[in-house]
Amino acid sequence: MDGYCSEIVKHVYLSDIMAASSPTSITRYNIKHIITCNIKPISEPLVSSYLWIDSEDMPRQDLISFFEITYSFIEKAVEKKENVLVHCIAGISRSATIVTAYLMKKLRKPAEECIELVRKERSIVDPNEGFRRQLKLYETMGYKINVLNKDYRLIVLDQLASRLSRRHFIHDTETSNAVHEIVHSYFTKLSSTDQLFKAKVVYKCKKCRIKLFTEIHVISDNLVNCKSLYIEPQPWMQSMLTELTVSDINCPSCLKKIGCFDVSGIDCDSKCTTHTSIRPAFKINVNDIDVDNLALPSTVFISQAH
């Protein structure tokens, strides 16, 4: 069966998986490059220039991390005046988000305006609410990824938690490699943080004084009467993350217990003035850490992922 390809702008097409898998459609629209946004790639792509974005049509799916990669892929095709097709299952949400992000960066136009540009050529386009937030964030960041942006870091963290929470649904023979890849992908996306961020606040183990994390890794702090900090997972936690979804957190040097984590979330300490659930939660006991350099950050930041 053939599918219909919508030309959004010159050389850039959007379709469902039926069209992307159809030799007739690929020939009819003279497609030379394909981007697949799905949980698995096309088994036999009908073009030699192919990019697979492993993704689900879920609000917690991190698509924004791929915007730079997909922009470059599409733009190279356009510069060569060759047709590129972006598709998912139905050509409504995931692939539409990728094409919208491309137009935003290319035209320097806001998210909603670019969604309407795409919808004008393909009326069924409707990115899910999570993708719309990511497009708006991309606009706010100036059409580029800023790994120091707190909202971006929360999207990456929420994706990690979502996938780790479902590890039990992965076939046993694939679990180890799949989970390692999930964890590795998380830290890879944020790998440039240490080079870009000059820490003003450093948190250390009170017992052995080893550096544990800095203020960029703090998700919530200065909560009134709260005895905990909620942080992003650290590279020294990788082995725990690949094996467990709930565990104590021990200092990587002296092994003193300094907190706990639960990727499904933990209720904030009951004495806090705001009762909320932090999800995912990597909870550090403030009595077990010391703060070096400047005072604790004055900005209160509470995860929007709960």
From 88, 114, 226, 268, the catalytic residue: 88
Nearest C-alpha neighbor of 65 from the set 55, 74, 57: 55
The set of residues, in sequence order, having a beta carbon less than 8 Å from that of 209 and lying 6+ positions away, is: 290
88 catalytic, yes or no? yes
Task: Kindly give the pairing relationship between strand 201-205 and strand 289-293.
Answer: antiparallel
Is residue 267 within 8 A of residue 207, CB to CB? The reply is: no
Q: How far apart are CA 158 and CA 155, in angstroms?
A: 5
Neighbours of 12 (CB within 10 A): 23
Q: Which residues are catalytic?
A: 88
